[in-house]
Structure 1
Amino acid sequence: MSDAALDARELTFTAEGTGARELRLEVSRSARIRLSAGARRLMWARVCSGFYGVTFARSEDASSPGFLPPFRADEARRHQDRAWWMRRIASGLAESPITPLRPGRWQLAHLVADASDDACFVHPRAELRSVGPLTVFDLLEAAAAPSTRDDDFGGHGSWSVWPLRRPSDADEARVKAWRKHAVEGTLPPVVLWSVSGLQSHLLLDGHDRLVAARSAGVTPDVVLLWRVHETPPTEERMARAAHAYTSQFERHPGGRQALNTMLERAFSPTRAPADAFAIGRSDMDDEWDREVASVLTAEDADAL
């Protein structure tokens, strides 16, 4: 990880390296999708005919996939700073063999609750709040997600959250421990990964913390990982911004901070979500069908 730029709610960085990667997102010609961590299958999905939605399935394995080193209770009590947690998450993902990171630009964004919908989280930058891949719906429902689920894209994608393991029971010891943190306000954030082809977010880390927050009636902090496509600023845009800065500063010299922010953004690259990296597999369909049949009931497998 290099070239990191950090503010209170965003960490933008460059992922490097071409080492062995145990996390694989695979897609077949028939729109069957599979996410694997080494030999372990984490998720199966199938995009519906007509591309109006996607059906998900997960295994009943309740152990952590291990994307990140476990968050510790002493860390949670010592650090309530958003920037610290984003650095912790970024470094953990960069060092993990089970990581969605591929070479290129990435961002971790500490999402904010939508003022008009308490079940929705949006990007901290106003200009990105209407961008589907950076909007999260129905977070707490993922704490009790069934083994299969149908998501209707509804023309704009569902952008809801899908867990990558079976949720723990609310009375399990680790969940109870995190529930205390949720009540005290020291619960570390849950970590999501925005995957464009699914038009959904995958829960990378924080399955037990999400269950704890839900059982405590608390909304957890949310950090979203997304791959960034950057477009350099044009000469025309920079010239317009410089002219606007000069004219506005002459009329409102006291507004220097706001004008400086405007100028900085005009001279910075424009950021938009990029597609997730996926591996094309022409020979995966039969294997996918057998795996789904082995982990789901006959009724659920037929639905998928």
Structure 2
Amino acid sequence: MTTTVALPATRFTDLLAAEWLKLRSLRSTYWALGAGALAVIALNTNAARADYANYPHYGAVIQTHFVSWALRDAFTQGAAMTMLLVTASIGAITIVGEYSTGLIRTTFAAVPDRRALMTAKVLVVTAVMTVYGAVVAGASFAATQAVLDGRGQGVPISHPGALRVVAASALLAPVCALVGMALGALIRHSATTMVLITFVLLFLPTFVTDRYHWTACLRNALPFNAWVRLVDIEYGHDPFTLVPRWPTTVTGGWLVFGAWAVVAAAVTVVAVDRRDV
């Protein structure tokens, strides 16, 4: 007579450990994160170096208000675009990669609770990308301000607005990674997902005009434009229209970040749970 032994229920901590193992076992993850970090820091440092070289030739007005330039050098728009594409691509690969290799079938067979599984994946990616963003943004700030210190124009992290620049730049990483995961869960095709990531996160902010009220609302509700507002310390007192009759500034930028992260995480979990393999 054969006795069937019931397997113990999978603990959520086990799912977290498994997803962490999957993520760190991919060699491509290290290459992408490393190359992305070097590119971001190099772009920012080069901007600071250019301002260091040109500082004596700037007019009195610019030199007087140079602190805003120093904070722009801490994380430039080119660096933000690079961070955006790198992290969103890695987020997408965590989903699309399993579907393309067929590993997702084995995963679902081992863990039938898809929502718990995808929640664990979302949490692991969010945690890793938050740490990654903090390290890259912090290193960029330290490097750029060290360069500008040669002209006596570097600012400390305690300077008004400096911490906001670093925090917004750091959080751009997990937000975009979650958006990449959501698009990967919906599309499940590598090339199409990457094209849509580029369009939604990079091209769409440049295509949408702010001439009309409704297009300005749409433009301001995109992650990249929210980041632009957050890191522009001179913009703090101007209206930032998130929705009609809701003028706000910094608060709107943080809410945009939070909304994209929450909605993207929910889409990832629900899309995988509701669709067949």
Fold shared by both chains (TM-score > 0.5): no
TM-score of the superposition, structure 1-length normalised?
0.22
Larger fraction in strand:
1
The higher relative CO (CA closer than 8 Å, separation ≥ 6) is in: 2
TM-score of the superposition, structure 2-length normalised?
0.23
